[in-house]
Amino acid sequence: AEATVIGTTFDSNGLGDGTAGKSDGIRIVGDGTLTVTDITISNSGLDGLGACCGTVPNKPVVNISGSTITGSGEDGLNFFDGAVATVSITTITGSGSDGIEAAGNSAGTEGPELTLTTVTISNNGANGMDIFDKTEKLTASDLTVDQNTFAGLNTGSMGDLAVLSSSFTNNGANGI
């Protein structure tokens, strides 16, 4: 299945009402492709956008371009267990936890693969990016990662990493 969302605003979704738990602004689970262009996601209860739970060859694929994710209760973008994501010309700021989190936690699944180009990640409550646990690959260029509470890019137990022509400044811990 494929879904495309263009020029749409998602504001204050997934906040819960006392009986329903908090959730994401947008979530894709299992196989399928989601393409979002020129969208704004703000003030989500948990993650701004999350993708998870794919297995070879049926991985969730997410393409994000020209978008803004701000004020998420947890992570701005969250990719787990096999998600493949391409993010370009996008700003992620003011998340309660990480700007971007990626990991492969479930047994028998591959970790996510991420390609980031011309992305600003700033003022998040934890790391700018937290990339760990079986993440297959992170390829990044032209990033601005600034003023995050902890590291600009925190990594551990992951595969290939390539960061080109990027700026890591004023983060509370390591740049990378």
Given a contact cutoff of 8 angstroms between Cβ atoms, the answer to whether 32 and 60 are in contact is: yes
Compute the distance between CA of residue 48 and CA of residue 93 in angstroms, rounded to an integer.
11
Report pTM: 0.94
pLDDT in tens, the chain (176 residues): 899 999 999 999 988 776 567 899 999 988 889 999 999 999 999 999 999 886 666 788 999 999 999 999 999 999 988 889 999 999 999 999 999 999 887 666 677 899 999 999 999 999 999 998 777 889 999 999 999 999 999 998 778 899 999 999 999 999 99
Compute the distance between CA of residue 176 and CA of residue 138 in angstroms, rounded to an integer.
13
Q: Phi/psi of residue 52, each to 5°?
A: -155, 175
How does pLDDT run across 47-91, given as a tens digit for each residue? 999 998 866 667 889 999 999 999 999 999 999 888 899 999 999
Find the distance separating the first CA and the last CA of the chain, reported in whole Å: 36
**Beta strands, E only, 112-166:** 113-122, 129-132, 137-141, 144-146, 153-156, 160-164
Structure tokens at 79: 């990719």
Q: Phi/psi of residue 141, each to 5°?
A: -145, 150
Compute the distance between CA of residue 149 and CA of residue 80 in angstroms, rounded to an integer.
22
- Which residues are within 8 A (CB) of 33 and not within 5 positions of it... i.e. 6 or more apart? 1, 2, 3, 60, 61, 62, 63
The 8-class DSSP code of residue 58 comes to B
93 Cα distance to chain centroid: 11
